Amino acid sequence: MPLKTETKPTILIRAVTIVTDLIQIFLLFTLFLLFYLAQPVITERVLYLPRGGLNYTIEQLRKDGVDISLFDGLLIKLAGKYLQAGWIDLGKTEMSKGEFLYRLTTAKAALVDVTIKPGETNYFIYRELAKKLKLPPFQCSNIPEGFIKPDTYKLPIGMSPRQLCQYLYGVSYQWHKHIGEKVFEGFNFRVYKKYLIIASIIQKEAANPKEFKLVSAVIYNRLKKGMKLQMDGSLNYGKFSHTPITPQRIRQDISPYNTYKYKGLPPTPICVVQREAILAAIFPAKVPYLYFTKCGDHHLFASTWEEHRANIEKCRKVNREWAQKKREKKEK
């Protein structure tokens, strides 16, 4: 028996039905998309987009609490857009999802250079950051003293203190971890902290990087003999970073940072340090020095008290002349 063939009208009806269904699906999807893109989004005004693929960037933004999904990533791809790594300024904190995705792919941030120098303390670092980035006074509770990596940072105006603290911690942790892992088998901050404390004293005391390992040797030699460190640099902590150390200050400061009063190391690092100071703290010079004294723009080192006293006398005139030259240069 021959099969029944469809007539042309039947085929046409089916085609119309399929087209109608597709149009309905398209309209439903369009309505859903319009509804979805109209949803409100509350976010930080400034965001950091890490380097990596689109899905990786979205995942990192989600971890930072940003309202974004892989579906948003699909929409970005369909629109032929991409996310550029770095800081972006969205311009505001409340907007629709559609505007958020548009700004996410087109916005840029006004960046300022902020230099954090070795030897500086968190007290002054936070004030400089607040001034440059137009932030209210703040402190990073998650960042120990001496932990921030000294460097010149390109940071966006408009970022929040929370974002700044999070960013500085992440960059600094990776930096310290890299140094620690190259020297030791693994990175244990509790062990590493001791070297960071010593490195911070070296950073404050040494006149130049050539002296780092020599100052480190003096610290270890005095600790080994049970001697007090008696180093001015340990008193340049916090807000006293740039305060000259006087005999009166040495007598009156009862903090555990006063190495004239107490044996051993201070409880925390004193300032941020450069890589060379950390390596000097781990690998001190193999010399018997126990003392050093300022002599113009450098120090003289000694192994005995008698030699140290002779160096002090030798350097009195040099220090006076050097101080005079500095004053004259400053006045010009």
104 in the same domain as 127: no
Question: Among the listed ranges 18-32, 283-297, 298-312, which one has the minimum average pLDDT value?
Answer: 18-32
pTM reported for the whole predicted model: 0.79
* Residue 262 resides in a domain: yes
pLDDT single digits (tens) 64-75: 888 898 988 888
Nearest to 292 by CA among 300, 282, 283, 280: 300
Residue 156 and residue 90 share a domain: no
CB atoms within 10 A of CB 271: 28
Q: Is 307 found in the same domain as 249?
A: yes
Full DSSP string of 56-124: HHHHHHHHTT----HHHHHHHHHTT--PPSEEEE-S-SEEEHHHHHHHHHH----EEEEEE-TT--HHH
Sorting pLDDT into bands at 50, 70 and 90, what band is 34? Answer: confident
Q: Which residue has the tokens 């001791």?
A: 194
Same domain, 95 and 127: no
pLDDT tens digits for 98-135?
Answer: 898 989 888 888 889 999 999 999 999 999 999 999 89
Q: Are residues 105 and 116 in the same domain?
A: no
DSSP 245: P
State the helix-helix crossing angle for 212-224 and 275-282, rounded to 10 degrees.
40
- Rounded mean pLDDT of 253-278? 97
What percent of the chain has pLDDT above 70?
A: 95
The answer as to whether 2 is a domain residue is no
Choose one of 183, 215, 236: the last residue of a domain: 183
Q: What Å distances lie between residue 154 and 129, 267, 289, CA to CA?
A: 11, 32, 42
Q: Do the domain assignments include residue 190?
A: no
Q: Is the pLDDT of residue 2 over 60?
A: no
Residue 31, in any domain of the structure: no
Mean pLDDT of all residues in 234-257: 96
Confidence of residue 332 (pLDDT cuts 50, 70, 90): low
Contact criterion met (CB below 8 Å) for 278 and 196: yes
- 316 and 220 in a single domain? The answer is yes
Amino acid occupying residue 202: I
Statement to judge: residues 98 and 116 lie in one domain: no
Pair 215, 327 in one domain: yes
Q: Rounded mean pLDDT of 291-301? A: 94
Residue in the structure block whose two tokens are 């007598």: 251
Is there a domain that residue 277 lies in? Answer: yes
Q: Which amino acid is at 193?
A: K
Q: Are residues 271 and 282 in the same domain?
A: yes
In a domain, 5, yes or no: no
Q: In this structure, are 205 and 245 located in the same domain?
A: yes
Choose the final residue of a domain: 154, 183, 212: 183
Residue 80 lies in a domain: yes
At 311 the pLDDT is: 93
Count of helix runs (H) and strand runs (E) in the chain: 11, 8
What's the pLDDT at 9? Answer: 67
Answer yes or no: is pLDDT of 6 > 60: no
Q: Are residues 231 and 303 in the same domain?
A: yes
Query: Considering the chain, what is the average pLDDT of its residues?
Result: 90
User: Residue 178's domain spans which residues?
Assistant: 111-183
pLDDT exceeds 60 at position 1? no
**Residue 102 and residue 115 in one domain:** no
Residue 117 vs residues 24, 47, 271: alpha-carbon distances, Å:
64, 26, 10
Say yes or no to pLDDT of 7 above 80.
Answer: no
Q: How many domains does the chain have?
A: 3
In the predicted model, what is the mean pLDDT of residues 11-23?
70
Asked whether residue 241 is assigned to any structural domain, the reply reads yes
Last residue of a domain, one of 62, 82, 109: 109
Q: What is the pLDDT of residues 139-197, one digit of tens each?
A: 999 999 999 999 999 999 888 999 999 999 999 999 999 999 999 888 888 889 999 99
